[in-house]
Homo-oligomer: A and B are copies of this chain.
Amino acid sequence: METLPGVAPPEQQNTYFYIGQHETKRTVPVTTELAEQAQDAGYDMMTRPITSPGFQARVLSSVDAYYESVSASSDANAVPYPLIAPLTPEDTNLVPDDTMLSTMICCTSPWIDLASPDPVIAHVSRQVFNHEVAYAAFCGVNNIMIQGPNLEASSVVSQYARAIGHSLEVGPYINLQILLPMQPTERKAAQDGLSLAGRARDSFKTLQSVATDALWSWDTWDLIRSTCKYHPRLTVALEIPQKLPSSAIQSRWFSEPLRTLMIPESTFVHNAKGFPVLNKPIQALLTRYMRLKTVPWIILSNVGPIPGQDHPGMPVNLPSRSISPELPTPAQSQSKRKQQQQQKPKDLTPYLSYMRHLQRTQPPRPIIDRFAAGYQDFLQSPLQPLTDNLESITYEVFEKDPIKYEWYERAVAAALKDLHQKLQRPIVVAVVGAGRGPLVTRCLKASASTGIPVQQWAVEKNPNAYVLLQRRNATDPLWNKRVTVVKTDMRAWKGPLLSADPATPAKVDILVSELLGSFADNELSPECLDGVQHVLHPEHGISVPTSYTAHFTPIAHPKIYAELLGRGDADKDKWELPYVTMLHQYDDLCISAATGTPDIQTAWEFTHPLPSAILQQSALRRGGSVQAGGSGMVGGDGWNEHNARFCHLRFTASSRGVCHGLGGYFETVLYTPEDKSKKAIELSINPNTMEEKSKDMISWFPIFFPLKTPLTIPTASEIEVSMWRQTDDRKVWYEWQVEVFVSVNGVRQRVATSELHSSIKNGCLM
């Protein structure tokens, strides 16, 4: 069953960019007046330090005094660690102020080092940090930005992570953003004489010596958020460099909870006219990141003072001629209207103006994005159309697909031609699971376009849809009372009665159905079509679709993992079922080096109609009769076992990461014309083939198989997935297990194994 949300697509609208101003060393105190000036200049927000330079000086002098005492003492252990007293009015000018705080991101002191290997520095840093967070929470601050840990190899990140986790519990509304670079860079500046890191004793700096690489910044984040158990109020503030890291790293960060994109002045280049602009790769990155469901904020860093602010420093290379920036006027931002009214002689915020320009000129979103707006990564349980009766609106939404029914019509037309050539008589066509009749219409159109007469049947179990089908047959000019509508579960249908004798029903030539789910067989298409196959002509009968395949690939999806984790323990089976979801904020873990596309492998295939021997064995087992060979009773179990499947697939991780589950897709061959020069008619939601096979089809979202415990995936590791389609006499369910292997010194070792997950309690009932 298709998986469209039951809503019409929203009007296309450019995403508004929330843009803030940041200075790494503010020389002007942040006052209500300054904040208003920032808004007047067109900024939506600004950052501010929680404490003053005076506080920094006080802390540093405490540390220096400690070291002096230690030098003077015969026993270093006899000197108590520096004790940082709580904040005084001189230490901070932050006060509770509802109006302005909502547009503020408050920054904890960047000169501390919570991850210091030196216990004295770590101790002092923790005190400073705790004082700042506690005071900010008291003042009602909602957003706090925290300098990420020093990415030196000597850092003890677990200490940093523990401190962050602790501070998340200080207040129920506080949101923490960890400021991290996309990949490690030289950050010697943090080691200067004004920082605590610079005061760590040398003996501690060499504690660890390990090689790190471009993913080290992400690794650090991964440890922090894992330690904090994927806390929903913990996010990333990502610093965008002028030269972007590899696309793998760009994608990795895309999948993380990006609250803020920090763009420093140094990331901009200047165009021929001297205006600051961003290079093309960064523009593309922004377009991608700004389409996240939770749209990141943009913070411009060190791009010059807020106009009106008494500030000595201005970035150089500013264009000297006056410009009239075309500012947007979204409803959200009053300040911009003000600005537009007074033509300024010179653009005092050229970086901001450029970002507004980017905002206005964003490319339109692809059709599926627009259609699924708001549904990205929203988790739905797969439909159970066999046990539930759908509502009319659900059918209506499904019928809007611009591609799917068109392709069905082509497939039926091709099948009609092939059969008619052989049979030279009207063709018996039956749509099973006809719903409100869209496929019936397509069959009749195919008949009309090919000029091949059909005897058209429509079978539907839903008594409500059955009413509509009869009405349509009576009133629709195309149907024109030519359709025989039967109300029955297709598995109980005796077949079309073309002769007068009810004891000898005729057979169907073409059986048309739309029973597929996001993972192909997950809504029991195989079982339904097996159940109706007895009405299909045994020699030449055609099923549309003729086959379908399920596909999957390991992915990182922190957002869905966090969502499921957050549901608490009451929802016991939450890890034990697949979810239908518009996968969006995820990262593929296995990218093929050859193609650059994700390695999405085929789990298994179903074809229709089944060979008769298979159906015969199934019938024998269902009846519990004596086995053909006469060697014993078969018993009543296992009649559906021919629809069980197993696969064991091996993937290679293209870069290290965390596996939160499997992204699943399907493909189906509706019909393959006998004329080999003609292409098969196919539908696909597999990202690797959907463009080619059924571009712009919007009916199905992917499926996601979660893992209860995320698995760490080392670089160059192999991921082996075992997946089962299990069945007993009453239902169908899936089981899945993931193992991770890595080669160390030539020996292949398993480094992680997931639980064996099973949706048996949420199986699809037959």
A632, B127: Cα distance in complex, Å: 14
- 1/0 per residue A78-117: CB within 8 Å of B? 1111010110100000000000000000000000000001
A722, B611: Cα distance in complex, Å: 61
State whether the Cβ of A492 lies closer than 8 Å to any Cβ in chain B.
no
**Residues A751 and B80 in contact, CB atoms below 8 Å apart:** no
Sample of 15 further A-B pairs with CB below 8 A, known A78-B612, A80-B616: A83-B634, A86-B633, A86-B634, A158-B720, A158-B737, A162-B722, A162-B735, A210-B748, A211-B746, A211-B747, A227-B737, A709-B709, A715-B745, A716-B745, A743-B744
* Chain B residue nearest to A648 in the complex (CB): B156
Q: Pick the contact of A712 from B613, B648, B750 — CB < 8 Å?
A: B750
Q: A686-738: which have CB < 8 Å to B? A: 709, 712, 714-717, 720, 722, 724, 735, 737
- 1/0 per residue A155-167: CB within 8 Å of B? 0101101100100
**Residues A88 and B632 in contact, CB atoms below 8 Å apart:** yes
* Chain B residue nearest to A638 in the complex (CB): B83
Chain B neighbourhood of A747, CB < 8 A: 211-213, 715
A211, B747: Cα distance in complex, Å: 6
State whether the Cβ of A749 lies closer than 8 Å to any Cβ in chain B.
yes
**Residues A621 and B83 in contact, CB atoms below 8 Å apart:** yes
State whether the Cβ of A617 lies closer than 8 Å to any Cβ in chain B.
yes
* Chain B residue nearest to A76 in the complex (CB): B611
Known interface pairs A211-B747, A229-B755. Does A739 touch B162 (Cβ–Cβ under 8 Å)? no
24 A-B pairs, CB-CB below 8 angstroms? A75-B611, A78-B613, A78-B614, A80-B614, A83-B617, A85-B631, A85-B634, A86-B633, A88-B631, A119-B646, A156-B648, A156-B722, A161-B756, A162-B735, A219-B749, A222-B753, A223-B753, A226-B753, A227-B755, A227-B756, A569-B569, A712-B753, A714-B751, A751-B751
* Chain B residue nearest to A58 in the complex (CB): B631
Chain B neighbourhood of A122, CB < 8 A: 646
Chain B neighbourhood of A621, CB < 8 A: 83
A7, B86: Cα distance in complex, Å: 53
Chain B neighbourhood of A715, CB < 8 A: 744-745, 747, 749
Chain B neighbourhood of A219, CB < 8 A: 749-750
State whether the Cβ of A6 lies closer than 8 Å to any Cβ in chain B.
no
A631, B54: Cα distance in complex, Å: 13
**Residues A714 and B744 in contact, CB atoms below 8 Å apart:** yes
**Residues B722 and A744 in contact, CB atoms below 8 Å apart:** no
Rounded to whole Å, the gap between the CB of A684 and the closest CB of chain B is: 23
State whether the Cβ of A311 lies closer than 8 Å to any Cβ in chain B.
no
State whether the Cβ of A178 lies closer than 8 Å to any Cβ in chain B.
no
State whether the Cβ of A656 lies closer than 8 Å to any Cβ in chain B.
yes
- 1/0 per residue A219-259: CB within 8 Å of B? 10011001101000000000000000000000000000000
8 closest cross-chain pairs (CB), A and B: A78-B611, A85-B632, A158-B722, A80-B617, A210-B748, A714-B749, A227-B756, A751-B751
Q: Which bracket fits the contact residues of A?
A: 35 or more
Chain B neighbourhood of A631, CB < 8 A: 58, 85, 88
State whether the Cβ of A379 lies closer than 8 Å to any Cβ in chain B.
no
State whether the Cβ of A324 lies closer than 8 Å to any Cβ in chain B.
no
- 1/0 per residue A299-330: CB within 8 Å of B? 00000000000000000000000000000000
Chain B neighbourhood of A717, CB < 8 A: 744
- 1/0 per residue A603-643: CB within 8 Å of B? 00001000111101100010000010101111100000010
Chain B neighbourhood of A720, CB < 8 A: 158
A722, B165: Cα distance in complex, Å: 15
- 1/0 per residue A744-766: CB within 8 Å of B? 11111111110110000000000
Chain B neighbourhood of A735, CB < 8 A: 162
State whether the Cβ of A12 lies closer than 8 Å to any Cβ in chain B.
no
State whether the Cβ of A77 lies closer than 8 Å to any Cβ in chain B.
yes
Known interface pairs A78-B613, A158-B737, A724-B162. Does A750 touch B648 (Cβ–Cβ under 8 Å)? no
State whether the Cβ of A444 lies closer than 8 Å to any Cβ in chain B.
no
* Chain B residue nearest to A718 in the complex (CB): B210
Chain B neighbourhood of A714, CB < 8 A: 742, 744, 749, 751
* Chain B residue nearest to A229 in the complex (CB): B755
Rounded to whole Å, the gap between the CB of A749 and the closest CB of chain B is: 5
Rounded to whole Å, the gap between the CB of A747 and the closest CB of chain B is: 5
**Residues A739 and B158 in contact, CB atoms below 8 Å apart:** yes
Known interface pairs A58-B631, A611-B77, A627-B85. Does A712 touch B751 (Cβ–Cβ under 8 Å)? yes
A451, B574: Cα distance in complex, Å: 73
Q: Pick the contact of A742 from B212, B751, B755 — CB < 8 Å?
A: B751
**Residues A86 and B722 in contact, CB atoms below 8 Å apart:** no
A735, B607: Cα distance in complex, Å: 55
A607, B76: Cα distance in complex, Å: 13
Chain B neighbourhood of A722, CB < 8 A: 156, 158-159, 162
A80, B634: Cα distance in complex, Å: 14
Known interface pairs A119-B646, A742-B742, A756-B161. Does A83 touch B627 (Cβ–Cβ under 8 Å)? yes
Chain B neighbourhood of A162, CB < 8 A: 722, 724, 735, 737, 756
- 1/0 per residue A332-353: CB within 8 Å of B? 0000000000000000000000
Chain B neighbourhood of A632, CB < 8 A: 85-86, 88
A745, B653: Cα distance in complex, Å: 14
* Chain B residue nearest to A87 in the complex (CB): B632
Chain B neighbourhood of A646, CB < 8 A: 119, 122, 159
Chain B neighbourhood of A85, CB < 8 A: 627, 629, 631-634
Chain B neighbourhood of A212, CB < 8 A: 747-748
* Chain B residue nearest to A226 in the complex (CB): B753
Chain B neighbourhood of A616, CB < 8 A: 80
* Chain B residue nearest to A162 in the complex (CB): B756
Chain B neighbourhood of A614, CB < 8 A: 78, 80
Rounded to whole Å, the gap between the CB of A738 and the closest CB of chain B is: 10
A223, B648: Cα distance in complex, Å: 15
Chain B neighbourhood of A746, CB < 8 A: 211
Chain B neighbourhood of A213, CB < 8 A: 747
* Chain B residue nearest to A748 in the complex (CB): B210
* Chain B residue nearest to A722 in the complex (CB): B158
Rounded to whole Å, the gap between the CB of A80 and the closest CB of chain B is: 4
Rounded to whole Å, the gap between the CB of A599 and the closest CB of chain B is: 17
A122, B212: Cα distance in complex, Å: 44
Q: Pick the contact of A750 from B211, B223, B755 — CB < 8 Å?
A: B223
